[in-house]
Amino acid sequence: GAVVSQHPSRVICKSGTSVKIECRSLDFQATTMFWYRQFPKQSLMLMATSNEGSKATYEQGVEKDKFLINHASLTLSTLTVTSAHPEDSSFYICSATRRDRPRLNEKLFFGSGTQLSVL
Amino acid sequence: ILNVEQSPQSLHVQEGDSTNFTCSFPSSNFYALHWYRWETAKSPEALFVMTLNGDEKKKGRISATLNTKEGYSYLYIKGSQPEDSATYLCAFYNYGQNFVFGPGTRLSVLP
């Protein structure tokens, strides 16, 4: 099955620093990568959608300058939380769709998530 | 804003019991409904992708049904085992939208 590798799994940082989270599709080409955030006991909330080689599309209320997304290749997408603050502490997770599958039956392949704690 | 609900929020069952839980979603502009199993410290894994009203899908002891007209899907687990312990997420996809996830049902199967 398709694998998405997400790193780091956990990060603790000081307020004001920037944190980069990587998601790699290991054995397939990811047409699209989705980035989600999840607060405790809440649903996964879509933050942005990125397609290889183009600018990410951000959901309403998500700051583009705060959460920088780069999808430079078909196997790598990164999310950078810039100048992180305690309110950015959350669980972040990515998912990807395969390049060669019909959209109707397409399922998502997830990373394992990153728990960010900003002190 | 689309709202996807799941119930119950959590449940505990004994090994061998059968159980089921519900995903409710908007019935308009339906495109697909996904179920994922999410074990602690692992990645969510797809169980079913359902696209047609009346769909019934089965994978081992787990099965799911879909009613797009009334906007719900049921997930059934027959003869629960401790390894079934996980959070079960449903995700709704309609035309022109991205996936909207429910909050999940956390299942604990006690040996």
**Cα A119 to Cα A110: distance, rounded to the nearest angstrom:** 27
Q: Which of A41, A43, A46 sits opposite B98 (nearest CB)?
A: A46
Enumerate the residues of chain A whose CB falls inside 8 A of the CB of residue B100: 43, 46
Q: Chain A residues with CB inside 8 Å of B44's CB? A: 93, 95, 108, 110
Label residue A101 by pLDDT band (50, 70, 90): low
Which element (helix H / strand E) includes B101?
strand B100-101
Q: Which residue has the tokens 């998405």?
A: A4
pLDDT tens digits for range A3-54: 899 999 999 999 999 999 999 999 888 888 999 999 988 889 999 998 877 8
The two tokens of residue B36 are: 């994922």
Q: If we measure between CA atoms, which residue out of A50, A21, A48, A46 comes closest to residue A33?
A: A50
DSSP A2: -
Cβ neighbors of A55 (< 8 A, separation 6 or more) are none
3-state secondary structure of A87: helix
Does any CB of chain A come closer than 8 Å to the CB of residue B75? Answer: no
Task: Please choose, from the candidates B99, B36, B87, the residue with its C-alpha nearest in 3D space to the C-alpha of residue A32.
Answer: B99
B23-66 per-position pLDDT tens digit? 999 988 888 999 999 999 899 999 999 999 999 999 999 999 99
Interface of chain A toward chain B, CB-CB under 8 angstroms: 4, 6, 34, 36, 41-46, 49, 93, 95, 104-113
Q: Which two tokens stand for residue B1?
A: 């804003």
Answer for the pair B36, B44: CB distance below 8 angstroms, yes or no.
Answer: yes
In this complex, the residue of A93, A108, A109 whose CB is nearest that of residue B99 is A108
